[in-house]
């Protein structure tokens, strides 16, 4: 993995499922922007960075499951340097700054300061085939969870809905099987394994 050279601007991003807060740190000044966590929000962020006269930025995000994957890939493909950091490192940095108050805006600024001070290594996105494989595995996990919930409901359901629940379980069984076949096909074709 690459280590980061010095850039004049850093961007800290605090992620949530529906939105993200961004803090741009340039020349000791912090500017904030909140965007939707969607393609529309990613474009709004790019437009905002352009208005701030920032062409390339070192972006730092916390590793928070998959809710930041699309944003990280978007920023990487746009030519920015992206770092994805373990939240424990950010928390330790916050403790060193003696910060106790916590808001999304403050968290984004903290992540930007962490990025400036620590210069975390660059993240390289996984290949598209690996991203597809991971998405399918997550989907199977969700389907299996849904099926378990339905099976639990079946044992306590009223007879008027039992057949509906059984139909849904059968549908989920089919979807699980279909998705597992897709995974097997990708694993064999790409040699990625699991």
* Residue 192: CA count within 13 A, CB half-sphere: 17
CATH of domain 9-118: 3.30.420.40
Average pLDDT over residues 49-54: 94
Neighbours of 80 (CB within 10 A): 20
Q: To which residue do tokens 């992620």 refer?
A: 15
The structure tokens listed for 22 are 């961004």
pLDDT value of residue 68 = 86
Integer angstrom CA distances of residue 27 from 43, 49, 83, 106, 182? 24, 15, 20, 18, 49
Say if residues 58 and 80 touch (Cβ distance below 8 Å): yes
Instruction: Report domain extents, the chain.
Output: 9-118, 128-190
- Measured between alpha carbons, how far apart are the two ends of the chain, in Å? 23
Average pLDDT over residues 33-51: 96
Average pLDDT over residues 61-85: 91
Q: Which residues pair with 24 in a beta bridge?
A: 11, 31
The structure tokens listed for 90 are 């950010």
Average pLDDT over residues 60-64: 90
Give residue 83's pLDDT band: very low, low, confident or very high (50, 70, 90).
Answer: very high
Is residue 9 predicted with pLDDT exceeding 80?
Answer: yes
Is residue 178 predicted with pLDDT exceeding 50?
Answer: yes
Q: What is the DSSP letter of 67?
A: T
Integer angstrom CA distances of residue 164 from 62, 74, 161, 171? 42, 41, 5, 11
Q: Which residues pair with 19 in a beta bridge?
A: 36
Give residue 130's pLDDT band: very low, low, confident or very high (50, 70, 90).
Answer: confident
| CA neighbor of 13 nearest in space, from 45, 38, 40, 44 | 45
In the three-class reduction of DSSP (H, G, I as helix; E, B as strand; rest coil), residue 37 is classed as coil
pLDDT value of residue 3 = 42
Burial of residue 81, with CB atoms counted within 10 A of its CB: 0-12 exposed, 13-18 middle, 19 or more buried: buried
Burial of residue 127, with CB atoms counted within 10 A of its CB: 0-12 exposed, 13-18 middle, 19 or more buried: exposed
């Amino acid at each position: 993995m690459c280590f980061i050279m010095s850039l004049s601007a850093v961007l800290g991003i605090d992620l949530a499922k529906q939105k993200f807060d961004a803090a741009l740190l340039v020349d000791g000044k912090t500017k904030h922007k909140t965007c939707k966590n969607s393609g529309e929000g990613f474009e709004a962020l790019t437009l905002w960075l352009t208005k701030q006269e920032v062409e390339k930025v070192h972006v730092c995000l916390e590793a928070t499951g998959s809710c930041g994957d699309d944003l990280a890939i978007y920023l990487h493909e746009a030519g920015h340097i992206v770092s994805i950091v373990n939240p424990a490192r950010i928390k330790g940095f916050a403790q060193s700054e003696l910060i106790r108050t916590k808001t999304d805006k403050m968290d984004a600024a903290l992540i930007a300061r962490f990025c400036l001070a620590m210069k975390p290594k660059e993240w390289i996105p996984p290949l598209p085939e690996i991203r597809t494989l991971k998405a399918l595995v997550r989907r199977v996990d969700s389907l299996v969870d849904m099926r378990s919930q339905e099976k639990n409901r079946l044992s306590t359901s009223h007879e008027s809905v039992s057949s509906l629940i059984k139909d849904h379980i059968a549908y989920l069984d089919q979807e699980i099987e279909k998705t597992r076949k897709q995974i097997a096909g990708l694993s064999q074709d790409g040699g990625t394994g699991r």
